[in-house]
Amino acid sequence: MAPRLMQGSDAVADAAILAGCRFFTGYPMLPFTELLENMAKKLPAAGGVCINAESEMEAINMALGAAATGARAATGSCGQGISLMQEGIAELALNELPLVVFNMARGQQDYFQSTRGGGWGDYRTITLAPKDIPEAVAHTQELFHLADLYRTPVILYGDYVIAHTSVGIEVEAMEFGPLEPKDWALDGTMSGTGRARQIWTWNRGKPNTPGVGPDRAWNTIADKYAHIEATEQRFETYRAEDAETLIVSFGTTSVFVDRVVDDLRAEGLSVGSFRPITLWPFPAVGLAEATRGKRHVLTYELNAGQMIDDVRMYAHDRSVIRAIGGVSQDESGMRQGDLLNADEVRQRVRRAVGEPVAAGQ
């Protein structure tokens, strides 16, 4: 099969189906809507079910139900819609149920939401932020694997650029390692055997098969996330090792940042970039190393400063950190605005490192 021109939402839908997703649900909300449309079109033919939910709360809970039966399931939304799903995402985590959540975000306003969560209890979500459609396609498939491997909800941080732009791409199935059988899944067949299964965040169990209780259960889950934090950090650097100035950005913004790194290097400026790929677990080790000895650490994100909190936590020297991005939406409020622009990035970097900014630069 040759590469063909595909919209990002289309390619991601194909990737999800290739990964074995057989239940999808969502509530229309731009720029997530096209993913729902594509799944509605394609999933039934693949033997799956796609439901247009009546609310995001219903979507997350329907998806939780599907996941509880052992099916590979997914949902998605963005912004306020993901806000409505917080309770459900936490519930999935504390039930140790796998689910992929596609946050096709409105710009970069959902970093906090996708890393801090707003649900209850001690939980995290593995959150991957692809920089372009090919990476989104790979991340999508990997997230279904990670969700099952670790028995946790996981998030793909996409955005309008990924959802709505098109590239020439061939979506191919990826292979991951073997997984444990889902011996916790509910299908009704253990009912009446004396050893019926139970999924309950409180983990009380049944008289014949007592559970460990909430304290043990939630401690075990916390330990699991501590393990993930230690082992699943991912990042990418570009021309960073000998750079004086490091620009930190995530998602599609980093494509623009890397282009600017090349422009400024050509002018003789010593700049490089750092891109967290896992927003959680944030690549703390990588960032500490990459910021060592840097004169300037500049964060470029399209919000009032969210990822910068993590940069401040882990950078080698906090005092050299500056935010040079900002809230940036277009007129509709749903797409990235004027700051997603190489000229803008270039000017702000130059200003930040004390270089004069002439017209046309």
Partner 1 sequence: MTTVDITTAPERAAHRVAEFKPNLLQSSEHDLCPGCGHPVAWRLVLDSLVELELERRTILIAGHGCYTQMMRISDIDSLQCLHGRAPAVATGVKRMKPDAAVLTLQGDGDMVSEGLHEVLHAAARGEKVTALLFNNGVFGDTGGHMTATTVIGQRTKTSLEGREAGEHGYPIDVAKLLAQIEGAAYVARGAVNTPGMIARTKRMIRRALELQMAGAGFTFVEVLTMCPTGWFVPTLDGPEYLEDSMMETFGIGELKAPD
Q: Which residues bind partner 1 (CB under 8 A)?
A: 22-23, 25, 49, 51, 53-55, 57-58, 61-71, 73, 87-88, 91, 95, 186-194, 196-202, 204-208
Nearer Cβ to partner 1 (42/265): 42
Nearer Cβ to partner 1 (55/165): 55
Beta bridge partners of 271: 245
CB within 8 Å of 68: residues ≥ 6 apart: 95, 97, 185, 186, 199
Nearer Cβ to partner 1 (39/269): 39
User: Using CA atoms, how far apart are residues 238 and 258, in angstroms rounded to an integer?
Assistant: 7
Give me the phi and psi of 5, to 5 degrees please: -70, 120
Least separation in angstroms between CB 73 and partner 1: 7
User: Using CA atoms, how far apart are residues 154 and 99, in angstroms rounded to an integer?
Assistant: 6
User: Using CA atoms, how far apart are residues 232 and 222, in angstroms rounded to an integer?
Assistant: 15
Least separation in angstroms between CB 224 and partner 1: 20
Nearer Cβ to partner 1 (101/247): 101
User: Using CA atoms, how far apart are residues 126 and 144, in angstroms rounded to an integer?
Assistant: 11
Least separation in angstroms between CB 287 and partner 1: 36
Nearer Cβ to partner 1 (167/199): 199
Least separation in angstroms between CB 197 and partner 1: 5
Give me the phi and psi of 220, to 5 degrees please: -65, -40
Q: Do the bridges between strand 153-159 and strand 296-299 make them parallel or antiparallel, or are there none, so unpaired?
A: unpaired
Least separation in angstroms between CB 190 and partner 1: 5
